[in-house]
Structure formats: structure tokens, C-alpha cells
């Protein structure tokens, strides 16, 4: 019961407080006192304290059903009151969080009171004081002078809006649902309209250089006695980058370490503000620098002990470097593992020419040394019962009980002079692809981690990749990534981060492995350091027990794949192909803002001879255009692309058939700068490059501008691609699937009044998905859709379909987690399965050739016999998964703790998802969302009897 402005209800409150049994009908009406204007009166007249005392009293009597119902009504009142900031402040100031925490612990011990747990926990979460991130600025630690924009150095953040109040979640969700229903394009004219090119036709001939198969004369076919010359001719690269790589190979000696020397000043690209380390700067240096401490039992220490004897601390740096180079060379010789298509020395040379904002002079050990897929498949992590509730309780405990809280910064990307305690973990992330901005030791074995926002922005925190060392073995360390932005994650559904152990690698086990227990992803109480307090952050928490004392390990969101790895990989492929059969040419599409060359690769079969018939067949082969890694955080896209590249360059007869049938144009990495600098979504101009395809800026988005120019050129010379596919990764769905474009399906699903009976549309856009459903065990045909959404009108898939007229224009999404169907059901995907998907996509192209039967004869029958999983279940429910709070109370079926705060996955976050949105989820949302909200509230507050 809550007071009215005339004070009539105060006596009612007193009556309740003095023990009168409130009729259940009045209990159910108690929440009416907190409607509308009454909330302000409740807070201003101090009745929040009375409500809390009432709840405490009735909770003590909650052995009867009537008392439990009254407690529910009081919690409902408190929920309504705390929708305003004044109400939340009042609850905190009157000790409400401590009271709720104490009563909740009692509820957990008494079976009949468990129904009070969830609304109490939600109330505590809502009212926890917003804590600013311990940063001086919300802006990224990396800033870059963007052409045409004023470079202000450390950008100023907006001042916090202390008076802002959180809006009611339900109202926000209803608004988002309305936006979703409006997102599908319903205008037939817009769907069928083909815009004019965004540039004059006179500019297109410049892209003829990217079609070397049309101008190459293949004279080497007559020079069989000169294989070396032939190799150079048919597999050469016209880029200056290749020359730099070759030159760089002559400078450094082979070797590796966890770190590379950063003693020299990095050279600066004066026109771009980026830095490129000289090859000599990447000399091997002490394993123990920057806190990279290896155990005395590791091979590194064993290899160096003998040489270390007799050396004094006064030795010159040059002698130390020479010693450690020798040590690393010895390690490579003694412990190096043969990793296909990977050469450490070549990787080092490639990294020497990579430009980054801070001028990286350190190589991460896994990238240099390489890795092999794990010997077996890794199952999804089981979800521990009550894990999310337990983590929220621990956060509340941290707020209430400060004893044992250390709160000491042990790593700061912006402060290299920071000294951390000798008994704490040591962190490092200043290397290519790395992302960790700050680490704070919370308790002895617990650390808060803050990720770096995308360069020149204050958003897009998801990707992480960092080094950790100085650990104690067999002790569970808890890591909390506290500034995640997406409202849900596959970490709630069995996904684990990946770990690489240097010691294991030196002992012959160079693997990235899935790791972590008690994994949970939930909304937290942190807010931007200086931005609006209403901004929501989420915590990814997981625990890791390291196997070795003082190992050096690397943790990442997903299997890293760097820009330098791509450059080295292309060089290895170029040198491995048979020049008499494979035409492989790597060129530079353009240079990025930072000055990194963006490679484009042409792969096809060399003609059988220089006869007119063979040359004519070559020049008339249809094109297949494949792109990838426009979003840097989607490293799985690069592993799929790696599988595609290696297969197309292989001696497999099917690969040869594909090369004879098509000319492949591959742009493996559309956003090199973002990948290099460890961003998640954007490039250095803080723009999502996959939203720039409609009208790309040649200065700010050069890779998109020139990739589109190449597609325009191909269309202008009558070689419009037969297939276009942009490789992506998906963080919130399982399996691998395609998004395509269809006028009819868009109109059908949108409920448009347009009569589609007379519309003619080639159904060929479904050919490749149907073929993949037979070929690829990780592929889910039922997760594919072909809807054209307004919010995706500037993506590669839609623009290439609409402007170039490519029927089979796709986005291929690969999960960061694993599969829920087929032979991989319940398993997390590794690099082996991702590369396999790249191969399977190539095989699916056989379905669009003119001589399908002949080409399929090259394939094994067991591949063709692969049956579709026929899974019609959704990948995930629209809201966060349900969690059973108690094995003794299964019938309760309590929803996850995030259900009330975020009844459904918000679509603002879905817009930030790896390229394509969730068209199917959007269509389902209108019919499912409201029922989910009502059922969630029903579980939180059962109706009074």
C-alpha cells in the first residue's frame, strides 16, 4: 500500500506495519498506489523507507502463503518506485540493497520463498549505484588524424547527464519492435530500381590492371625449360609491398620471442600519422622483458641457461640481443613445429612493413610461432546452474562489503611506466590485433578488464586479445570484461574464449584451445567515465585455472588472424602453386588510411596453350568475387577465407575444375587498419565500412570505394560476377548461414499489399544455400534468409545485388561459437572447421557451372550423401536463455536475470551485429515479444490469490 497525496494511506501503512493481516485482495492492489504521479509523492514524502520496513517485517513472517503474496506486492511497488532516479537513490540511501541482499540469502535457504529471489535480485541490479569506468576518457586510447577532420588529439567526452532517468524498458522495447516492422523494404520500385553508378564511367578503366588474366600473354607456356622465370611470370605480384617483404627478409634473422625489441624509435609515416617498425626493430629480445616471465622449467629457460652463465648485468645491449637471437634460433630449431602454410621468419618480415597507430614493435608469440588445430573437437561449455545469479550476488557483495577489495590498476595501455605488484598477473596488449586498455586487480584472484574502443571513437567494445603472465598454477582466476556493449552473447550459450600457452607451444602443443568455466554474460552497473549515465554496459565473466606456474599465455575473444599473417600467407601460397597450372597474382587494390596495402588476389587456371580457343575460354570465364574481414572483430571470417584460398591453390582435382571454370577475385581483408589496431567494428575513420557501399568516400573509405570500382569495371566490360560473397562472423547465432536478396520474399514477409503473383524472379539465389546444405555439416539452411532491409541498404550484399545486378549476392555468417545441428551439434568450431567451411563454399560453386554433372564427378560420393540436418528450431530465443534456479523447484521455471531488464535482445545492438541483421528474429519478434514480456512479468510477480 502506498500513500496518496492526501495522506489517507499513511494509517494503512501503519496498520500493516503493526501486524494486521492484509487481505490478499488489498495486497494485489497495493501496487496501484505506485501508479503515475503517486510515485513522486511516495519518494518525496519518504515512504520508500516504510515500504522497505514493511517488506522486512512481512518477509520475516513469510511462512504463510498470504505473507509471500504480500511480499510480492511490496516488491512490485518498489520496482515501480525505482523507475525514477529519485526512487533508486531513496532505496539505496535507506539501506534497501543491504536489506534485499540479506532477505534474498534467507530465501535461498527456504524452498517456499524462492519465488521472491528473482524480483529481489532485479531490484538490486537496477538500484546499484552507477559506477563510472576507471578511465580518464571514454574515447579510444588510439587516435588518428583523419583527412578532412580536425584532429583534436584526446577528444573531449560529453559531460554526464546526472539528471537523466532511465526510461521504462517496456516502452523502449515496444518502440524498437515498431522500428523492426518498418525495416523491411516494401516499395517495389525501390526493390527493383537499379541506381546509376556513383562515379563517371571514365574512371573505370583504371581497374583494368586488376584483371591481369585478360592481358597476360602466357608466353611462359612456351618456355618450359625455364621454370624459375615461368614461376615469376605466372605467379608474380605487382605490388610494392612484395618488394618490401623480400627486402625485409634479408634484414632480420630467424627467431621468435614473446616480445620484440621496442628500444628504437618507430619510423613515422608523416602523411598518415601511422607507424611502421623497421625490420631491425623486430629483433629478438629477452623473453623476460615487459613481464613475460617463463618458468625455469620451460624450454626457453633451459635453452638459455647455459649461455646465460658468465654474463654480467653490465653487458652491452647489443650482446644481449645477439645472445637472445641465438636462443630464439635455437628454440625454433629444437622446438619448432611444422605448421602448414606458416613460416615464422616470413611472418616477421611481413610484420616489419605493417603500419599501426602506436607503431607496434612487439610480436605476439602465437602469431609468430603459429598454431595447429586442436587434436579433437571441443564441446560447448556446460552452463552451471545459477551461475548468473551467483555472479550478480558477488557484484552486490562487492558493493556492500569492501573488505578484501584491492582495486589496483595493474595494466594501463596509456601508461607504460606503471609498476604492478610482484604477486599480481601481468598484462600486455600493445601488439598487432591486441585489445586490452586497462586491467584492475579487484581481489587476490580477480581482475576487471576494460577493452579499448575502436580508434577515434568511444564505442564498439567486444574484441579482446592480450597477453597474461606471472600466474600461479592450479588456482582459479576470475576475469571480468566490464565494458561489453551487446545485450546478449553466445557466451551465455556454451561459447568459451580461446587461450594459447607459450610453454605448451614450446613443448610441442601449439594450440589455441577453448577455455574458461563459470562463463556468464550479463548487464552490470558500470557506466561511461564521462558520458551519459544511462548507457548500458555488460560483463563477460569467466574463470581460468592455468596449468603452469609463470607461463606466458594469450587470451582472445576468438582465434586471432592478423594482417601480417595474411601477407605472409599470400606469399607462401604464391610460392607454393604450380605455375604451369595455376595463375595466381597478388596485387594492391589500394592503400588504407594508415598506408597499409589492401591485397587483391586473382586465381584461375592457366590455359592449356596459347591457341586462340584456349585463350578465348580463359578470357570468357565468369568471375567469382569474394571479400572478407570488413569488421575486424570477426576473425573467423579470415579463417574461412584462409580455407578458400588454400583450396583454390591446391592440386585437388575439384579445385582445378573450379579454376578452369571461373576467375576468382578475392579481397581477403577489406579493413586492414582495423585489424592491425585491434578494433572490433570500424576503420580508423570510426566508420562501419559495411555501411559505406552506397556512396563510399575515396579518401575515408578507400578499400570500399575501389572494391566497388572493381565490381563496376567488371560489369562495364560484360563480366558481371556470377557470385559475390562477403565473409563475416556472427556473435549471437550458431552455425554458418547465408543472407541473400529476394524481391518476392521481402514483399511476402513484410506483409506488403503488392500482388507478387505476376512478379518474375530467378530463384537461382537459393541454389548455393541448398547445395551447401548438402555439403557442409556446419551450414544451416533454415537460418538463411533473403530479405532486403532498409537498415542494410548500404551493405555490400544489398548494393552489389541492386547496383550491379548480381543475383547471387550473399553475406556468409560464421558463428563464433558452434553448431546446434548435424554432426557438429554441441561442439564449438575451431580453425579446422572454419577452414573446412571455406572449402565447402568453393565446392558449392559447382552448382552454378554449365557442366554440373561433369564437375560433380570429381567429388567423393560420401560428400554428396551428406544429408541436411533439417533443424527448424531457432538458433536462440529472442530473449536471454531461461535458467533453472533450483533443482528442488523445477516447476518454477524462473527466467534469466536479464529477462526483466532486457526482455528481448535489443535491436540497437542487432544493428551492430556482424554485418547482417537478424531478419528472421525481427519477423518473429512482433508475435513473440509481447508474450515473452508478459510471461516474464508473470514469473517475477505471480498474481495474488
Cα atoms in the 13 Å half-sphere on the side-chain side of 864: 10
| C-alpha cell belonging to residue 34 | 505506485
Give 73's contacts (C-beta < 8 A, 6+ positions apart): 27, 28, 30, 31, 944
Query: What is the spatial distance between Cα 455 and Cα 785, in angstroms, rounded to a whole number?
Result: 33
Q: Is 452 exposed, middle or buried (0-12, 13-18, 19+ CB in 10 A)?
A: buried
Query: What is the spatial distance between Cα 482 and Cα 133, in angstroms, rounded to a whole number?
Result: 9
Q: Percentages helix, strand, coil for the chain, rounded to the nearest 5?
A: 40, 15, 45
Residues in the chain: 945
Q: Which residues are known to be catalytic?
A: 813
Interior/surface letters 190-214, b for 16+ CB within 10 angstroms, e for the rest: ebeeeeeeeeeeeebeebeebbbbe
Give 603's contacts (C-beta < 8 A, 6+ positions apart): 582, 583, 584, 645, 648, 649, 659, 663, 664, 666
CB 2 within 8 A of CB 10: no
Q: What are phi and psi of 590, to 5 degrees?
A: -175, 180
Cα atoms in the 13 Å half-sphere on the side-chain side of 276: 22
Query: What is the spatial distance between Cα 796 and Cα 705, in angstroms, rounded to a whole number?
Result: 11
As beta bridge partners, residue 625 has 665, 724
As beta bridge partners, residue 131 has 526
CB 488 within 8 A of CB 507: no
Q: What are phi and psi of 392, to 5 degrees?
A: -65, -40
Side by side, the strands of the sheet bearing 426-428 are: 426-428, 465-469, 552-556, 498-501, 512-514
As beta bridge partners, residue 440 has 409, 448
Which residue, among 512, 776, 820, 505, has the nearest Cα to 647 in the 3D structure? 776
Kindly write down the DSSP assignment for every residue of 801-854, as one continuous string: HHHS--SEEEEEEEESSBBSSGGGBTEE--HHHHHHHHHHHHHHGGGGSS-HHH
Q: Where are the beta strands (DSSP E) in 76-117?
A: none
Query: What is the spatial distance between Cα 885 and Cα 904, in angstroms, rounded to a whole number?
Result: 20
Query: What is the spatial distance between Cα 256 and Cα 292, in angstroms, rounded to a whole number?
Result: 13
Residue 625 parent element (H or E):
strand 623-628
Q: Is 760 exposed, middle or buried (0-12, 13-18, 19+ CB in 10 A)?
A: exposed
Query: What is the spatial distance between Cα 854 and Cα 657, in angstroms, rounded to a whole number?
Result: 9
CB 627 within 8 A of CB 670: yes
Dihedral, 926, 927, 930, 932 alpha carbons, nearest 10: -120
Query: What is the spatial distance between Cα 871 and Cα 823, in angstroms, rounded to a whole number?
Result: 12
How far is residue 428 from each of residues 290, 415, 464, 554, 636, measured CA to CA in Å? 8, 11, 12, 9, 23
Q: Three-state DSSP class for 474? A: coil
> For 175-220, what is the HEC assignment?
HHHHHHHCCECCCHHHHHCCCCCCCCHHHHHHHHHHCHHHHCCCHH
| C-alpha cell belonging to residue 350 | 611481413
Q: Which residue has the cell 501503512?
A: 13
Q: Is 938 exposed, middle or buried (0-12, 13-18, 19+ CB in 10 A)?
A: exposed
Amino acid at each position: 500500500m502506498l500513500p496518496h497525496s492526501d495522506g489517507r494511506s499513511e494509517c494503512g501503512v501503519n496498520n500493516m506495519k503493526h501486524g494486521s493481516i492484509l487481505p490478499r485482495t488489498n495486497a494485489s492492489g497495493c501496487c496501484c498506489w505506485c501508479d503515475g504521479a503517486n510515485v513522486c509523492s511516495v519518494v518525496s514524502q519518504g515512504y520508500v523507507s516504510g515500504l522497505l520496513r514493511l517488506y522486512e517485517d512481512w518477509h520475516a513472517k513469510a511462512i504463510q502463503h498470504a505473507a509471500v503474496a504480500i511480499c510480492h506486492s511490496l516488491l512490485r511497488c518498489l520496482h515501480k518506485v525505482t523507475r525514477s532516479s529519485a526512487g533508486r537513490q531513496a532505496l539505496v540511501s535507506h539501506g534497501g540493497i543491504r536489506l534485499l541482499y540479506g532477505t534474498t540469502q534467507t530465501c535461498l535457504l527456504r524452498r517456499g520463498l524462492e519465488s521472491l529471489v528473482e524480483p529481489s535480485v532485479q531490484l538490486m541490479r537496477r538500484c546499484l549505484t552507477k559506477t563510472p569506468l576507471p578511465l580518464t576518457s571514454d574515447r579510444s586510447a588510439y587516435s588518428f588524424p583523419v583527412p578532412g577532420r580536425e584532429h583534436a588529439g584526446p577528444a573531449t567526452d560529453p559531460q554526464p547527464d546526472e539528471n537523466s532517468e532511465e526510461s521504462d524498458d517496456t516502452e523502449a522495447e515496444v518502440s524498437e519492435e515498431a522500428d523492426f516492422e518498418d525495416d523491411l523494404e516494401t516499395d517495389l520500385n525501390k526493390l527493383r530500381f537499379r541506381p546509376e553508378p556513383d562515379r563517371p564511367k571514365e574512371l573505370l578503366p583504371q581497374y583494368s590492371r586488376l584483371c591481369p588474366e585478360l592481358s597476360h600473354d602466357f608466353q611462359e607456356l612456351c618456355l618450359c625449360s625455364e621454370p624459375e622465370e615461368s614461376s615469376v611470370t605466372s605467379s608474380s605480384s605487382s605490388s610494392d609491398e612484395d618488394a618490401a617483404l623480400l627486402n625485409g627478409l634479408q634484414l632480420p634473422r630467424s627467431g621468435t620471442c614473446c616480445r620484440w625489441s621496442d628500444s628504437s624509435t618507430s619510423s613515422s609515416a608523416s602523411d598518415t600519422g601511422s607507424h611502421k617498425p623497421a625490420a631491425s626493430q623486430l629483433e629478438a629480445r629477452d623473453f623476460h622483458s615487459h613481464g613475460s616471465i617463463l618458468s625455469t622449467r620451460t624450454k626457453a629457460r633451459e635453452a638459455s641457461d647455459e649461455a646465460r652463465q658468465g654474463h654480467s648485468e653490465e653487458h652491452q645491449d647489443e650482446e644481449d640481443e645477439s645472445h637472445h637471437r641465438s636462443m630464439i634460433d635455437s628454440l625454433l630449431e629444437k622446438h619448432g613445429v611444422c605448421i602448414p602454410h606458416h613460416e615464422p621468419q616470413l611472418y616477421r618480415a611481413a610484420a616489419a612493413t605493417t603500419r599501426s597507430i602506436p607503431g607496434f614493435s612487439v610480436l605476439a608469440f602465437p602469431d609468430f610461432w603459429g598454431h595447429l588445430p586442436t587434436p579433437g573437437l571441443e564441446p560447448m561449455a556446460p552452463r552451471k546452474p545459477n551461475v548468473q545469479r551467483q555472479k550478480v550476488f558477488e557484484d552486490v557483495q562487492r558493493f556492500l562489503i569492501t573488505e578484501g577489495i584491492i582495486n589496483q590498476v595493474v595494466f594501463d595501455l596509456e601508461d607504460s611506466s606503471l609498476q604492478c605488484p610482484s604477486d599480481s598477473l601481468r598484462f600486455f596488449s600493445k601488439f598487432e590485433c591486441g585489445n586490452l586498455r586497462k586491467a584492475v586487480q579487484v581481489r587476490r584472484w580477480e581482475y576487471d578488464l576494460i577493452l579499448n574502443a575502436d580508434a577515434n571513437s568511444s564505442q564498439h567494445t567486444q574484441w579482446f586479445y592480450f597477453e597474461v603472465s606471472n600466474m600461479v598454477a592450479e588456482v582459479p582466476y576470475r576475469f571480468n570484461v566490464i565494458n561489453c556493449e551487446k545485450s546478449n552473447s553466445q557466451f551465455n550459450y556454451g561459447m568459451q574464449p580461446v587461450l594459447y600457452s607459450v610453454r605448451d607451444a614450446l613443448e610441442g602443443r601449439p594450440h589455441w584451445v577453448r577455455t574458461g568455466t563459470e562463463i556468464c554474460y550479463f548487464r552490470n552497473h558500470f557506466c561511461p567515465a564521462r558520458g551519459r549515465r544511462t548507457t548500458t554496459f555488460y560483463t563477460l565473466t569467466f574463470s581460468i585455472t592455468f596449468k603452469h606456474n609463470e607461463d606466458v599465455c594469450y587470451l582472445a575473444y576468438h582465434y586471432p588472424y592478423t594482417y601480417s599473417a595474411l601477407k605472409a600467407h599470400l606469399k607462401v601460397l604464391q610460392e607454393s602453386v604450380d605455375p604451369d597450372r595455376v595463375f595466381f597474382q597478388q596485387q594492391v587494390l589500394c592503400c588504407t588510411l594508415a598506408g597499409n596495402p589492401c591485397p587483391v588476389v586473382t586465381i584461375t587456371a592457366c590455359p592449356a596453350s596459347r591457341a586462340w580457343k584456349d585463350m578465348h575460354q580463359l578470357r570468357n570465364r565468369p568471375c567469382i568475387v569474394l571479400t572478407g574481414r570488413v569488421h575486424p572483430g570477426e576473425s573467423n571470417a579470415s579463417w574461412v577465407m584462409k580455407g578458400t584460398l588454400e583450396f583454390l591453390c591446391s592440386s585437388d582435382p575439384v579445385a582445378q575444375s573450379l579454376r578452369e571454370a571461373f576467375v576468382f577475385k578475392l579481397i581477403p581483408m577489406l579493413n586492414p587498419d582495423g585489424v592491425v589496431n585491434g578494433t572490433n567494428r570500424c576503420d580508423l575513420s570510426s566508420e562501419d565500412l559495411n555501411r559505406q557501399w552506397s556512396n563510399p568516400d575515396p579518401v575515408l573509405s578507400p578499400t570500399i570505394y575501389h572494391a566497388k570500382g572493381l565490381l563496376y569495371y567488371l560489369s562495364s566490360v560484360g563480366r558481371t560476377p556470377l557470385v559475390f560473397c562477403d565473409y563475416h562472423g556472427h556473435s549471437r547465432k550458431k552455425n554458418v548461414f547465408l543472407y541473400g536478396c529476394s524481391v518476392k520474399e521481402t514483399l511476402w514477409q513484410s506483409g506488403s499489399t503488392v500482388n507478387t503473383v505476376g512478379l518474375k524472379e530467378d530463384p537461382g539465389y537459393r541454389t548455393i544455400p541448398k547445395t551447401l546444405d548438402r555439403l557442409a555439416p556446419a551450414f544451416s539452411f533454415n537460418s538463411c534468409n533473403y530479405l532486403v532491409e532498409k537498415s542494410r541498404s548500404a551493405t555490400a550484399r544489398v548494393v552489389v545485388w541492386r547496383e550491379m545486378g548480381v543475383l547471387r549476392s550473399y553475406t556468409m555468417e560464421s558463428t563464433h561459437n558452434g553448431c546446434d545441428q548435424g554432426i557438429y551439434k554441441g561442439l564449438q568450431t575451431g580453425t579446422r572447421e572454419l577452414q573446412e567451411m571455406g572449402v565447402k563454399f568453393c565446392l558449392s560453386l559447382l552448382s552454378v557451372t554449365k557442366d554440373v554433372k561433369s564437375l560433380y564427378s570429381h567429388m567423393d560420393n560420401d560428400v554428396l550423401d551428406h544429408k541436411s540436418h533439417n533443424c527448424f528450431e531457432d538458433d536462440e530465443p529472442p530473449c536471454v536463455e531461461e535458467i533453472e534456479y533450483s533443482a528442488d523447484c523445477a516447476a518454477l521455471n524462473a527466467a534469466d536475470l536479464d529477462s526483466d531488464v532486457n526482455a528481448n535482445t535489443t535491436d540497437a545492438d542487432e544493428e551492430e551485429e556482424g554485418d547482417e541483421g537478424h531478419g528472421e528474429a525481427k519477423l518473429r519478434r512482433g508475435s513473440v515479444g509481447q508474450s515473452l514480456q508478459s510471461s516474464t512479468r508473470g514469473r517475477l510477480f505471480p498474481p495474488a490469490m
